[in-house]
């Protein structure tokens, strides 16, 4: 398809030069809107001044030129200042043959460039929740898209396993746990630790209320609550490697990591390397010393270390506390350095929610001021929060939508919907369970990925599992329908081939399907450039929707004209393969039977 576009763009440049002596350096083609005839649209309004003619006149003259000078053009239509161009039937067959002959139809050329994607980034004081699902699905999908676009992708996960919030769970377990374990409680390890994070908050609030009743100011009471002071002492003991604190920390972290591993397996996401902040914060401190020596940072009278970013339109930012303990930015500096030492990637994408926009703006400025070789290639893939009809989630109050529970609910809903529709006839128990998982997770992933990452979104479980409309199950069902069609063709002994050197008159729905198939690689390019799985999601839905239109309008297996039948079967087969490849970029499995 790209070659066709380039041919048309070149002819339009020549036409503008020949007719109006206009040297157009760049020609932009748009897809023609559905309500008009044509495949590509060229907007002529920018050339009215140079051509000294009305837009419709320019479009008419250019259309006549194209018809006479480019054999790929079948007809043109002028709509005010828009020139719509229709392609010859043999051009569509040329595009189709090009797709069939492409040795690598679903990947772009090797870019010979590494890109590091950091996503998930959980805390070891609580289980994963709905927001983490959007993060993990985004990170994994962007990794798949960049890989298809020709980059060498390294997937990393930075786990926040140290800090005051971790100590809160540890202290609460120490105070209230009575030796409870995942085995004795029947809870996944991350759920057990999260239980004590909530327990800390409850005890903390009680202590605050007690202090307020004693006449202490509420804000001061928050700072003086004994349980918080104990947690702060525990953090200092941790940094000083106090054996009993380290032993408790290691035990609880082991429980959490075991729980995370099970959640990641259910999500279908993976990592090439998992970093822990407990292993990176000391390297961050070294970078603070390096920055102090370079004059990048400065020390205040109380001993704390800062950076002044007022000239960059920001403010002063703390990089090391007065007691020598690190903050998040310190750890991120160390992790950035370590990732570069490990992989040598000069481009790094951080998949983190938009509440951290300021944090990453500061981090990237710091890395530039430290003259790090990887400082120019950093990108914060900032995404909006996920809301539910019931409202915002709060981890410390135990009101989050747990990721494990939501995934299980989606699979159960997929099961009940599928059984209602009778779509598992002839399935074994194992095959049925696999299908319910594919549909439930496919519905969840697609719903969270089809929205532009930057937008805050409302997740509606009921809407996501529908087998009609812009949903994962609708696309999955379309793929299964195509697989059924091609299996039937194979059982009939039909060899799907397009006869070379023949002319074909193609129906509009066939042309539209070929156009979409021919656009696959440009969509990968677009999605990779924008770090936007939503581009692939929309494309896949458009492709599935167009296939169903084609399927309903035209006879396929019963078509008497062998050439027409074979072209349609070939189109169906290519569409199935493309849907499968597209869904894989979103981390979604395409079932072959439903």
Among 150, 153, 142, which residue's Cα sits nearest to residue 120?
142
Model confidence, pTM: 0.90
According to the 3-state scheme, what is the secondary structure of 465-524? Answer: CCCCCCCHHHHHHHHHHHHHHHHHHHHCCCCCCCCCCCCCCCCHHHHHHHHHHHCHHHHH
- Helices (H), strands (E): how many in the chain? 22, 14
Longest dimension (CA), the chain: 93
Q: pLDDT truncated to tens, each residue of the chain (594 aa)?
A: 778 889 999 999 999 999 999 999 889 999 899 889 899 999 999 999 999 999 999 999 999 999 999 999 999 999 988 999 999 988 998 899 899 999 999 999 999 999 999 999 999 999 998 889 999 999 999 999 999 999 999 999 999 998 899 999 999 999 999 999 999 999 999 999 999 999 999 999 999 999 999 999 999 999 999 999 999 999 999 989 999 999 999 999 999 999 999 999 999 999 999 999 888 888 989 999 999 999 999 999 999 999 999 999 999 999 998 888 778 899 899 999 999 999 999 999 999 999 999 999 999 999 999 999 999 999 999 999 887 766 544 444 445 688 999 999 999 999 998 888 877 888 999 999 999 999 999 999 999 999 999 888 888 777 888 888 899 999 999 999 999 999 999 999 887 777 766 777 899 999 999 999 999 999 999 999 999 999 999 999 999 999 999 999 999 999 999 989 999 999 999 999 999 999 999 999 999 998
Q: What's residue 500's pLDDT?
A: 66
Q: What's residue 567's pLDDT?
A: 92
Q: What's residue 392's pLDDT?
A: 47
CA 310 to chain centre: 33
Instruction: Kindly state the helix (H) or strand (E) to which residue 87 belongs, with its residue range.
Output: strand 82-87
Q: What's residue 397's pLDDT?
A: 45
Matching residue, tokens 């259910």: 266
Matching residue, tokens 């790929």: 72
Distance CA 45, CA 566 (A): 43
474 token code pair: 């609708």
Among 296, 313, 139, 314, which residue's Cα sits nearest to residue 305?
296
Q: What's residue 398's pLDDT?
A: 45
3-class state of residue 324 by DSSP: coil
Distance CA 288, CA 155 (A): 27
3-class state of residue 401 by DSSP: coil
Distance CA 36, CA 205 (A): 64
According to the 3-state scheme, what is the secondary structure of 12-42? Answer: HHHHHHHHHCCCCCCCCEEECCCCCCCCEEE
| Burial 507-543, CB ≥16 within 10 A → b, else e | eebbbbbbbbbbbbbebbbbbbebbbbbbbbbbbbeb
Distance CA 470, CA 477 (A): 12
């Amino acid at each position: 398809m790209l070659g066709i576009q380039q041919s048309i763009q070149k002819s339009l440049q020549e036409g503008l030069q020949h007719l109006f002596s206009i040297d157009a350096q760049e020609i932009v083609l748009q897809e023609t809107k559905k309500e008009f005839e044509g495949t590509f649209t060229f907007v002529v309004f920018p050339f009215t001044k140079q051509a000294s003619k009305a837009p419709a006149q320019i479009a008419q003259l250019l259309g006549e030129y194209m018809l006479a000078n480019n054999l790929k053009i079948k007809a043109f239509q002028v709509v005010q200042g828009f020139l719509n161009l229709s392609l010859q039937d043999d051009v569509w067959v040329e595009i189709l043959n090009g797709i069939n002959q492409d040795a690598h139809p679903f990947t772009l050329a090797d870019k010979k460039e590494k890109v590091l994607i950091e996503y998930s980034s959980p805390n070891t004081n609580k289980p994963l929740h709905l927001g983490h699902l959007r993060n993990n699905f985004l990170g994994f999908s962007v990794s798949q898209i960049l890989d298809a676009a020709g980059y060498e992708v390294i997937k990393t996960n930075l786990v926040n396993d140290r800090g005051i919030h971790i100590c809160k769970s540890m202290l609460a377990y120490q105070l209230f746990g009575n030796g409870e374990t995942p085995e004795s409680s029947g809870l996944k390890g991350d759920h057990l630790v999260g239980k004590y994070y909530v327990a800390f908050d409850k005890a903390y609030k009680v202590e605050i209320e007690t202090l307020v009743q004693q006449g202490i100011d509420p804000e001061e009471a928050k700072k003086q609550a004994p349980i918080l002071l104990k947690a702060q002492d525990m953090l200092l003991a941790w940094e000083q490697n106090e054996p009993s604190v380290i032993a408790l920390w290691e035990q609880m972290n082991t429980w959490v990591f075991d729980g995370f591993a099970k959640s990641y397996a259910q999500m279908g996401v993976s990592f090439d390397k998992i970093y822990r902040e407990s292993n990176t914060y000391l390297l961050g401190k070294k970078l603070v010393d390096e920055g102090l020596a370079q004059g990048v940072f400065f020390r205040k009278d109380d001993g704390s270390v800062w950076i002044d970013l007022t000239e960059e339109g920001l403010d002063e930012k703390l990089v090391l506390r007065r007691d020598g303990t690190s903050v998040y930015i310190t750890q991120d500096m160390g992790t950035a350095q370590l990732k570069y030492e490990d992989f040598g990637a000069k481009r790094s994408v951080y998949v983190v929610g938009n509440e951290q926009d300021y944090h990453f703006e500061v981090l990237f400025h710091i890395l530039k001021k430290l003259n790090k070789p990887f400082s120019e290639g950093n990108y914060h893939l900032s995404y909006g929060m996920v809301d539910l009809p019931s409202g915002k989630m709060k981890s410390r109050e135990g009101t989050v939508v747990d990721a494990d529970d939501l995934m299980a609910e989606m699979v159960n809903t997929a099961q009940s919907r599928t059984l209602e529709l009778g779509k598992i006839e002839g399935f074994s128990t194992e095959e049925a369970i696999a299908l319910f998982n594919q549909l439930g997770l496919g519905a969840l992933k697609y719903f969270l990925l089809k929205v532009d990452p930057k937008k805050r979104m409302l997740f509606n479980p009921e809407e996501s599992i529908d087998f009609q409309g812009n949903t994962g199950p609708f696309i999955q069902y379309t793929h299964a329908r195509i697989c059924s069609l091609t299996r039937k063709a194979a059982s009939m002994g039909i060899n799907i081939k397009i006869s070379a050197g023949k002319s074909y008159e193609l129906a509009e729905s066939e042309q539209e399907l070929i156009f979409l198939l021919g656009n696959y690689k440009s969509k990968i390019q677009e999605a990779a450039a924008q770090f936007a799985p939503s581009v692939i999601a929309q494309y896949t839905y458009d492709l599935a929707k167009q296939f169903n239109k084609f399927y309903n309008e035209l006879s396929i297996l019963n078509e008497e004209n062998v050439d027409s039948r074979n072209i349609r079967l070939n189109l169906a087969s290519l569409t199935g393969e493309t849907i499968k490849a597209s869904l894989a970029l979103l981390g979604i499995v395409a079932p072959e039977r439903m």
